[in-house]
Chains A and B, each alone.
Chain A
């Protein structure tokens, strides 16, 4: 019987890089039930049930406590959780899936370099036209939190479904908040990253759920998994104790 539910990316580069990492840690993931299966196992850790899900589903599952642990992007985790530290604990930064969540403005706005400039321009725009500056993004909560922290008002979020970076050219927004690795796509769309516009430097994380039901057996399985990652890094496994501490802190 398996006791720990672990979710890992089911497709693309993330899947490959994650499986490669688990192999290097000495805990390779093997698919179960044929090529189209959504279940897998780790022969070295038989108490772990591995599910293959999208990074977004993994973030949601960890936050809801439906799964004990998962591999997902920090950007997705923070966006979906609101206050991540209350519901989940980042265990191991995995070094792949790197992307920055950034605020980008039109290159033609020569006078805009900082978030403070954005607030000045937004206030002026609203004063002149009665309309607020529009910010296109899929990262609604992260945007709202960052803009509040940076003291920017006078803006409206336009939720984008597809290619966010095209929003200014399409005339549906002036600013963009999106993930980028090199900034090249933004630049190709006539956008520049603001000097203080990096919201988050994200990468894939092994994350533990604080809301899941943790049996002693599930904790033991997590400890073994973390031991494998610690061995690979040539360090002692301190992460496990920190997680148990976080778990105790959230229990009433």
Chain B
């Protein structure tokens, strides 16, 4: 593979601190990608089916196949870097190529830290600068603060889960909360079984299924009864709580003011963001000390990272101001990724960044 001088310079900056070069396979089981990102991304994947019916997929990024090797124990928990083609079908109306060269790093470890966050973004931004990028701006956020906010607000466990899941979806937390106030009356069946104790409810559901002559298809009567009981006592978030959440998602400001803004938010709403805010504060101080390129104009956005399913902490993107939806660099923390891919067998923290080589270089040269 021949790299352009810009791509080679970006890769060299990354390689200095990113352990061994990983050369993961090009072809991954579609299952792995779909279990991770869901059907919503499938229309962007290059998939095909073999004679036995198994579905394969050209890797849409380098993160997944490298993480997969770590999850199955093929690669040790360590720092990796890589460069190679990745494949994504462009959205309708876009002239993006299907295949493009990606340069990036994935650092796996025993525990992440604000210091590692700061080092990661500094390396990624320095690599972009080495690759000739000028005039681009950073947008960053922290999914862990959103999670901490959900944990601190008075929400039912079901609503907490729903709002957590909604963060990475097109129908996001705002839309979910808007719909919460338009909920219809409780169904008969919920009223009939929802007020019973656990055993009675399960027995009642079993009797009902026998009476209508159907089975619980892939579930159990106990599970159905449990959900009916939860639905009977699952209040929609109060208006005040919805307003606090919407207020948080609205936060968007220069990096230099973001710590104060989040502290103000916590004080004014009386919400304790605990260790998440502490980590944010520490990370911001450490990044300021490293003085990475592009950082002086960086902007915090509470909604940054919404397009990605697996980021669960610090997230960042570098893009030209006029092309915010075509990031040159995107990266972030994904401490839950290896756990998910290995079904809990391997625990590892992770942070990484990906650079699109075709978006490197000076803007006026493209």
Contacts and interface: CB of A to CB of B under 8 A. Distances in A.
Interface of A: 82-83, 86, 106-111, 113, 116-117, 119-121, 123-125, 130, 132, 141, 144, 147-151, 153-157, 168, 174, 190, 195
A132 B35 CA distance: 7
Contact of A123 (B42, B165, B170, B215): B165
A110 B208 contact: yes
Contact of B217 (A113, A120, A149, A174): A174
A156 B217 contact: no
Interface of B: 34-35, 38-40, 42-43, 92, 158, 161-162, 165-166, 169-171, 175-176, 179, 184, 187, 189-190, 193, 205, 208-209, 212, 214-219, 223-224, 227-228, 231, 343
Contacts of A147: 39-40
Nearest to B228: A111
B214 A153 contact: no
Nearest to B234: A120
Contact of A174 (B166, B208, B218): B218
Contact of A119 (B162, B219, B228, B231): B162
Nearest to A126: B35
A43 B224 CA distance: 62
B38 A154 contact: yes
Contact of A111 (B40, B165, B212, B227): B227
- The interface residues of chain A, by DSSP majority, are classed as mixed
A154 B212 CA distance: 29
Contacts, number: 97
Given A108-B219, A130-B35, 17 more contacts: A108-B215, A109-B224, A110-B205, A110-B224, A111-B231, A113-B187, A116-B179, A121-B219, A125-B218, A130-B343, A141-B43, A144-B43, A147-B40, A153-B38, A153-B39, A154-B165, A155-B38
List the 8 shortest-distance A-B pairs measured between CB atoms, nearest first: A151-B171, A106-B217, A111-B227, A108-B214, A108-B216, A107-B214, A111-B228, A190-B214
B169 A110 contact: no
Contact of A83 (B92, B165, B187, B223): B92
Nearest to A155: B39
A109 B169 CA distance: 25
A156 B216 contact: no
Contacts of A107: 212, 214
Contacts of B169: 148, 151, 153
A73 to B, nearest CB: 22
Most chain A CB inside 10 Å of its own CB: which residue of B165, B166, B184: B165
B175 A151 contact: yes
Given A144-B42, A148-B40, A151-B166, A109 B216 contact: yes
Nearest to B42: A144
